[in-house]
Amino acid sequence: MLNRFIGMPPNASEHGYMIDHMLEFAHWFMLVLFVGWSAFFLFTIFRFHRSRHPKADYHGVKTKASTHIEFMVVLVDVLLLLGFALPLWGKRVTEFPKNDAVKIRVVAQQFTWNFHYPGVDGKFGKQDAAFVNSGNELGLDPNDPAGRDDIISKNELHLPFNRNVILEITSKDVIHSLSLQSMRIGQDAVPGTLIPIWFKPIRAGTYEIICGQLCGLGHYNMRAAMIVESQEEYDNFLKEAAQLSGGGAAPPAPSSEGTAPANPPPSTTPPGQENLKVPSVPNPAEQPAGAPMQANPAPGGAPASGGITPGPHR
């Protein structure tokens, strides 16, 4: 109730309700403390006014009441930290889903979010800073077959609901922060590292992705849309994106995603596809109008030379 009052967006992830419980409790606790200490403050102003208390008392309070109250407050704080916050955090960082998860890389840059899907082969192509150019912003190695079916989507993250999702987060320039409030999770994007987070979206819809770290002049505009949809819609999105990127041969939906039903032929507009055309927060500084998808690099492009590869892949 308090959470809604202070304007928190509704939760859309499996673990989020536990975080909401903790926040709700913490806020009620803070409210009680605020009311209690405010009342005490007003009481002292009244009780120890100069007219009622002309002479200073150099011994002060004799009772132990305030000590006990302080101790109780510390106790509740410790309970919140050790009983709720630490176990919740522990589950996020140690209990990663093993093999059924959807894996997507998130590459932040001033002031855009790039979402890198591994494509039908489920493998991310090799990347190298030496390959980075205006047509290949993530530096995919054109000679690596694993990268040919990769899909890069700008400012629009598609996820299937009721499946575990692992996002591997990094940055091309400065520190950004992927902030997914409706999923109750966030993670800094640090250049040179690839930091994974995981969650399970449980409600379809369009949610806001924002950058949670002041990262430069365009920070305010570093927003993206997260579209949580059914497996079928998600597969259609991947298929369409693969065709848009000129990959051509887009085989049927990946077999690893066994639950997916057969996709309709690519020439027709599948039902529900209209929903995908959600305004994806255009970024005038970075994004060419009407081109959310980026073509993969053509094979046999720039020569390979030494450069910095993305950080270790956990």
Query: Which parts of this chain interact with Cu ion (CB under 5 A)?
Result: 176, 211, 215, 222
In a 13 Å sphere around the CA of 86, the CA atoms on its Cβ side amount to 7
Is 140 or 215 the residue whose CB approaches Cu ion more closely?
A: 215
| Dihedral sign of CA atoms 300, 306, 310, 314 in order | positive
Is 211 or 260 the residue whose CB approaches Cu ion more closely?
A: 211
Q: Residue type at 278?
A: V
Is 112 or 236 the residue whose CB approaches Cu ion more closely?
A: 112
Least Å distance, CB 222 to Cu ion, is 4
Is 120 or 210 the residue whose CB approaches Cu ion more closely?
A: 210
Q: How many residues does the chain have?
A: 314
What is the Cα–Cα distance from 160 to 164, expressed in whole angstroms?
Answer: 9
Is 211 or 238 the residue whose CB approaches Cu ion more closely?
A: 211
Is 151 or 211 the residue whose CB approaches Cu ion more closely?
A: 211
Least Å distance, CB 201 to Cu ion, is 22
Least Å distance, CB 280 to Cu ion, is 16
Render 91-148 in DSSP notation, one character per residue: HHHH----SS-EEEEEEEETTEEEEEE-TTTT-PPPB-GGG-BTTBTT-B-TT-GGGT
Distances (CA, A) of 152 to 13, 60, 124, 223, 294: 24, 68, 11, 16, 6
Least Å distance, CB 188 to Cu ion, is 10
Least Å distance, CB 168 to Cu ion, is 17
What is the Cα–Cα distance from 153 to 287, expressed in whole angstroms?
Answer: 11
Tokens 């803070």 locate to 30
Least Å distance, CB 177 to Cu ion, is 7
For residue 111, cis peptide bond before it (omega within 30 degrees of 0): yes
